[in-house]
Amino acid sequence: MNINPVAGAPHAHDGDSVSRLMGLVLLALLPAVLYGVVLFGWPAVNLLIVTLIVCLLCEAGCLWLAGRSVRLGLMDGTALLTGVLLALSLPPWAPWWIGAVGGGFAIIVGKQVFGGTGQNVFNPAMLARVMLLVSFPVEMTTWLEPHPWLSGSAPGFLEGLLITFGHSEIADGVTGATILGYARTELVMNHALSQILPEHYHTGFAAIGWTGGSLGETSAILVLMGGLWLLWRKAITWYIPVAMLGAVLVLASGFHWLNAERFADPVLHVLSGGLMLGAFFIATDPVTSPVSRGGQIVFGIGCGALVYIIRTWGGYPEGVAFAVVLMNAATPLVDHYLRPRAYGRTWSGQSRPISERAKHAAMGRDAGSGSR
Amino acid sequence: MNDYRGIFADGLWNNNVVFAQMLALCPLMAVTTTATNGLGMGLATTGVLLAANVVIASLRQFIVDQVRIPVFVLLIASLVTLADMAINAWLHELYKVLGLFIPLIVVNCCVLGRAESFASKQPVAASAADGLAMGLGLTLALVMIGGCREVLGSATLFAHASLLLGDSFAFLETTLIQDYKGFLLMLLPPGGFLVLGFLLAGKRGMERVMEKKGVKEEFHCSVP
């Protein structure tokens, strides 16, 4: 018997590929990257480059060890995206070894140990960020006031190299707490939000990102625009971002309504920290999020609720990385309970009963062919 | 089995408690923040393993099969209590570090595992050799993992070794990098799992290379 082997599924392909998707996401991130570079100057460029190089080198090394094609593995762009996302979530003037250790951890422990692209349980960039925050709390919480490029306060190229690669301590005057961190410290001292916020927080500045924070997370508007563009290009679906932002908005509105002096308003929550980046670019990672629509909504709500809980009652002022990593761990469970219905079967997996119309049509066809 | 070479090869490498059987992981994660702690814990467990194997092998004719597990546990618990008191009396500084984990050697699966799978079926001498070999294999694993975590986590090696081995071994204490900032993750339990995972992968890789080179390896597998 001769069976012609056909190639495995998928048989119909619209030309989409991992590298195309990664390219789209990187393009969407470009405005936020450029803005971060402009806002924080040469040290941010150095950190970005170090993180990217280490990520790519580790990816290449692991692929070589595993005996796979290094060129194909690097060309798919996943390591590049991991590096960019990690760098964007780092404090912009962090020393080079933060980027190097983080990049290596993200690629080796976060991704390649599990079997490489598409096999990882956790989002590599967020896993590395959590590791860095737990291991090096001082370096990971040294935030900068904005030092825009070409302004007097911006460090020059050599000065930038010293900040990233040297041992020079960053002067106290240029650092400052992020609004989430500052509000937390003050709230612990029983100060009301109406006293804390006015001098340190301005909704407009927070929206365009003219504030201290991670390299690429400050500008909520630029990240949002990138995210909407991804939605429009159908690179991501709306379920996770909307569910995540919605959960934070609902929780923040509710508690703010209960006690405005203790719980910050929802707009502040949405505009600050890494929430926007997390909702559109990190939680939507197709590898580590659930498959079905219902699952993605549950996943998004879980991420958003965890972000709010960690920000409000947790030990850290910001919790996007923790929330995403925790929900990544829950993804197999969500996938188990919220499976998409298989075509032609009921939710419980039984064959669907054939409708009368379909029966008639089938009978008619049989009769027709029989009479011929 | 009277093949002592085989017993030692099993204990140290082929059927290593940690790297092949994946037993004793609880004390492994808990105490191996430094190589010295690993060494102390390993030696204490080796003592218990040796004594337990000898006692159980010599009593194996009298232990009724149906109640063997409670009898083993009783014997092991008595021996661990002795070890606990001995370390408290003569190595009190080490006891302060390891104190909590010494009594837990009772529930260390590798001790019961060797009693069940080896000592209850083998003569005394072979059981003694097995206890020693398995214990040394465990010590090797604990020291290696402790050493890796210590170097990465605090850039020292064998810190406080003089507390365990006496002042003559103070030369072991090395500081690799002065004013190292510390890599906290490696000292926390996740660091233990990470180091264990990479060492396991390393062992598998070595075995694969050895196989390729045509080194004849006998793989014993006695799952307790």
Q: Which residue of B has its CA nearest to A137?
A: B184
A301 neighbors A246 (Cβ within 8 angstroms): yes
CA count, 13 A, side-chain hemisphere, A84: 22
Q: Does B194 touch chain A (CB under 8 A)?
A: yes
One-letter identity of residue B164: L
Tokens of B104: 């837990």
Tracing tokens 């971002």 back to the chain, one arrives at: A241
For residue B79, what is the enclosing H or E element?
Answer: helix B68-90
- B184: closest CA of chain A, how far (Å): 5
* Burial category of A227 from C-beta neighbours within 10 Å (exposed 0-12, middle 13-18, buried 19 and up): buried
B122 neighbors B57 (Cβ within 8 angstroms): yes
What does the buried/exposed string (b/e) look like for B26-46 if buried means 16 or more CB atoms within 10 Å of the residue's CB? ebbbbbbbbbbbbbbbbbbbb
- How far apart CA B97 and CA B32 sit, in angstroms, is 11
For residue A10, what is the enclosing H or E element?
Answer: none
* Burial category of A161 from C-beta neighbours within 10 Å (exposed 0-12, middle 13-18, buried 19 and up): middle
Tokens of B14: 């082929």
pLDDT for position A169: 63
Distances (CA, A) of A147 to A36, A37, A132, A181, A331: 10, 10, 24, 20, 40
CB contact under 8 A, B197 and A131: no
Among B152, B188, B194, most A C-beta atoms within 10 A, so best to mutate, is: B194
- Beta carbons within 8 Å of A80's beta carbon, 6+ residues apart: A22, A26, A52, A55, A56
* Burial category of A363 from C-beta neighbours within 10 Å (exposed 0-12, middle 13-18, buried 19 and up): exposed
N-term to C-term CA, chain A:
32
| Cα dihedral value B68, B70, B71, B76, nearest 10 | 120
- How far apart CA A138 and CA A132 sit, in angstroms, is 10
Mean pLDDT score of chain B, rounded to an integer?
Answer: 85
Q: Does B206 touch chain A (CB under 8 A)?
A: no
Using CB atoms, pick whichever of A101, A113, A134 lies closest to residue B184: A134
CB contact under 8 A, A136 and B181: yes
Q: Which residue of B has its CA nearest to A66?
A: B205
Alpha helices in chain A (DSSP H): 18-40, 42-65, 70-75, 78-88, 96-104, 124-135, 157-165, 179-188, 193-200, 203-208, 220-232, 239-258, 266-271, 275-277, 293-313, 320-337, 356-371
List the one residue out of A246, A241, A249 whose CA is nearest residue A276. A241
CB contact under 8 A, A135 and B185: yes
Q: Which residue of B has its CA nearest to A139?
A: B181
Task: Please say if the pLDDT value at position B142 is more than 60.
Answer: yes
- A231: closest CA of chain B, how far (Å): 37
CB contact under 8 A, A134 and B194: no
- B96: closest CA of chain A, how far (Å): 26
Q: ipTM of this model?
A: 0.80
Distances (CA, A) of A124 to A24, A111, A114, B121, B176: 19, 6, 11, 49, 30
- Beta carbons within 8 Å of A64's beta carbon, 6+ residues apart: A70
Residue at A232 is within a domain: yes
Residue at A355 is within a domain: no
Q: Does A109 touch chain B (CB under 8 A)?
A: yes
Residue at A181 is within a domain: yes
- Beta carbons within 8 Å of B66's beta carbon, 6+ residues apart: none
Task: Please say if the pLDDT value at position B28 is more than 70.
Answer: yes
pLDDT for position B224: 46
B167-196 pLDDT, tens digit per residue, is 777 777 788 877 777 888 888 889 999 999
Q: Does A97 touch chain B (CB under 8 A)?
A: no
* Burial category of A345 from C-beta neighbours within 10 Å (exposed 0-12, middle 13-18, buried 19 and up): exposed
Residue at A52 is within a domain: yes
pLDDT for position A371: 45
N-term to C-term CA, chain B:
16
Contacts of B184 in chain A (CB under 8 A): 134-136
pLDDT for position B212: 83
Residues in chain B: 224
Q: Kindly report whether the peptide bond that precedes residue A10 is cis, defined as omega within 30 degrees of 0.
A: yes
- B197: closest CA of chain A, how far (Å): 9
pLDDT for position A365: 64
Task: Please say if the pLDDT value at position B155 is more than 50.
Answer: yes
Q: Does A114 touch chain B (CB under 8 A)?
A: no
* Domain around A36: 18-337
Tokens of B201: 């992968």
Among A65, A135, A141, A169, most B C-beta atoms within 10 A, so best to mutate, is: A135
Q: Does A115 touch chain B (CB under 8 A)?
A: no
3-state secondary structure of A197: helix
Q: Does A113 touch chain B (CB under 8 A)?
A: yes
Q: Which residue of B has its CA nearest to A98?
A: B183
Q: What percent of chain B has pLDDT over 90?
A: 33
Q: Does B212 touch chain A (CB under 8 A)?
A: no
3-state secondary structure of A317: coil
- How far apart CA B141 and CA B29 sit, in angstroms, is 12
- How far apart CA A49 and CA A68 sit, in angstroms, is 25
Q: Does A100 touch chain B (CB under 8 A)?
A: no
Distances (CA, A) of B141 to A207, B103, B221: 53, 20, 18
Contacts of A131 in chain B (CB under 8 A): 185
Rg (chain A; Cα; Å): 24
Contacts of B185 in chain A (CB under 8 A): 131, 134-135
A157 neighbors A163 (Cβ within 8 angstroms): no
- How far apart CA B109 and CA B116 sit, in angstroms, is 10
Number of domains within chain A: 1
**Number of CB pairs < 8 Å for A and B?**
14
In order along its 372 residues, chain A shows pLDDT tens digits of: 455 556 666 677 777 788 888 999 999 999 999 998 888 888 899 999 999 999 999 999 999 988 888 888 888 889 999 999 999 999 988 899 999 999 999 999 999 999 888 899 999 999 999 999 999 988 888 887 777 776 666 777 777 787 777 766 666 566 777 778 878 777 877 777 777 777 777 777 777 778 778 888 888 899 999 999 999 998 899 999 999 999 999 999 999 999 888 888 888 888 888 899 999 999 999 999 999 999 999 999 999 999 999 999 888 888 899 999 999 999 999 999 888 778 888 877 788 877 777 777 777 666 555 444
SS3 readout for A115-178: CCCCCCCCCHHHHHHHHHHHHCCCHHHCCECCCCCCCCCCCCHHHHHHHHHCCCCCCHHHECCC
Listed by start position, the domains of chain B span 4-167+178-212
pLDDT for position A326: 95
Rg (chain B; Cα; Å): 18
How many CB atoms within 10 Å of residue A139? 17
Q: Which residue of A has its CA nearest to B153?
A: A135
| CATH assignment at residue A208 | 1.10.3430
- Beta carbons within 8 Å of A268's beta carbon, 6+ residues apart: A179, A197, A201, A203, A206, A252
A36 neighbors A91 (Cβ within 8 angstroms): no
Residue at A343 is within a domain: no
B89-127 pLDDT, tens digit per residue, is 988 877 887 777 888 888 888 899 898 889 998 899 999
How many CB atoms within 10 Å of residue A88? 27
Q: Which residue of A has its CA nearest to B181?
A: A136
A154 neighbors A148 (Cβ within 8 angstroms): yes
CB contact under 8 A, A135 and B184: yes
pLDDT for position A86: 95
- Beta carbons within 8 Å of A70's beta carbon, 6+ residues apart: A60, A63, A64
One-letter identity of residue A2: N
Q: Does A135 touch chain B (CB under 8 A)?
A: yes
